Amino acid sequence: MSCCTKRKYEEINTSDDQPASSGANTMKILLLGAGEGGKSTWVKQMRLLYQNGFTSVERNYYKTIIFQNVIKSTVAISQNTAIPELQNLLKCPLTPASLSDSVISTLNNLLQNTEFQNALLNTPIVDNYTYFISRLPFLANNLPTNQDILLARVKTHIETPFTCTLNKLKYIFYDVAGQRPARSTWNHRLSEANAFIFFCSLSDFDQTLIEDATTNRLRESLQLWTELVNSPLLEKVPVILCLNKMDLLVEKLKTRRFSDYISEYKGENEAKSVADYVQGLFVAANKVNAKIRPYKVFQTSISDQGLIQNVCKSVFEFMLQAVLKQVGFF
């Protein structure tokens, strides 16, 4: 932050006794996007960076979530293959408590099975499924690490706020559920927002919505972005577009062609080219002049602890400068 910017910011916050909830020193930021875009992972990263991380109770909770995700995906895979070892494994319902050493060993052996690998490609499963299979021997006797927690998929059912304070400015991030049925609850927050971060999963180009198997997830995300970014309620609200899961996109393009799912695309089947194409679609959909409403775009992997620290720093600086501009300091 420049000295000039810092000085102007301090002029805004002249009273240390000012209530924390007052508009002068509080930023309300909405985390928006379709389901599984990375909103909850962002909040987890914020906890690791700006709070005390996760307690042992919370780590036990995530351990159960990880086991449940593995079991749910394994059952889904079993419906697309008749591998005897897998079918035998599922003769008795799997539960977190039943993940014995022998079960874990069988699952890890299945990862080397060609038929199982093919079934993986044709089954909608949780992100990082193979990662967690390889982690089961460790997790059987230990609490999950920070990276395990970041990669664990937890569906957001209710609005979950997260608060942190930096340079006397209080940031409240609202993680709201992204599935279609939950979006009707967004309106009351849109009118209060000082900024919003929109998350789009780049790796979802080959998947359809859970709630609508006929709709491509990437197209749904673009449609939702178009509606939000051009909403009169958000016309002057600074926006950050986070094109997430670059790491998963790289892996997925090894076995998928982007153009097979997004037929308009004519470029190389390479992650950077695909990400730039998607970014172009999203930027073009924004009809609000940047002089009226500032915006910033990141192509990133929210689960990458090393990368996200720099992204967070850039996000905070962008939002601070946007606030200063709104109150007439630029």
DSSP calls for 200-259: EEGGGGG-B-SS-TTSBHHHHHHHHHHHHHT-GGGTTS-EEEEEE-HHHHHHHTTT--GG
pTM of the model: 0.84
User: Mean pLDDT over residues 189-212, rounded?
Assistant: 87
Q: What is the pLDDT of residue 5?
A: 35
Which tens digit of pLDDT belongs to each residue from 25-35? 888 899 999 88
Model confidence band, residue 6 (pLDDT cutoffs 50, 70, 90): very low
Query: What's the mean pLDDT in 143-153?
Result: 95
Report helix, strand or coil for 31.
strand
Domains identified in the chain and CATH numbers: 21-36+156-324 (3.40.50.300), 56-151 (1.10.400.10)
Instruction: Decide if pLDDT at 145 tops 80.
Output: yes
Q: Which of 135-144, 203-212, 306-315 is predicted most confidently?
A: 135-144
pLDDT at 130 over 80: yes
Annotated binding site for GTP: 36-41, 150-156, 175-179, 244-247
* Beta-bridge partners for 157: none
Q: pLDDT tens across 59-102, in order?
A: 999 999 999 999 999 999 999 889 999 999 988 888 888 899 99
pLDDT for 305 = 82
* pLDDT (mean) for 124-143: 94
Give the residue-averaged pLDDT of 148-164: 84
* Residues in binding site for Mg(2+): 40, 156
pLDDT at site 54: 95
Cα–Cα dist 29/26, whole Å: 10
pLDDT the model gives residue 262: 97
Average pLDDT over residues 139-158: 89
Binding-site positions: 36-41, 150-156, 175-179, 244-247
CB atoms within 10 A of CB 295: 19
Sign of torsion, CA 102 104 107 109?
A: negative
Rounded to whole angstroms, the maximal C-alpha distance in the chain is 70
When mean pLDDT is compared over 196-200, 274-278, 286-290, 298-302, the highest value belongs to: 274-278
The three-state secondary structure class of 198 is strand
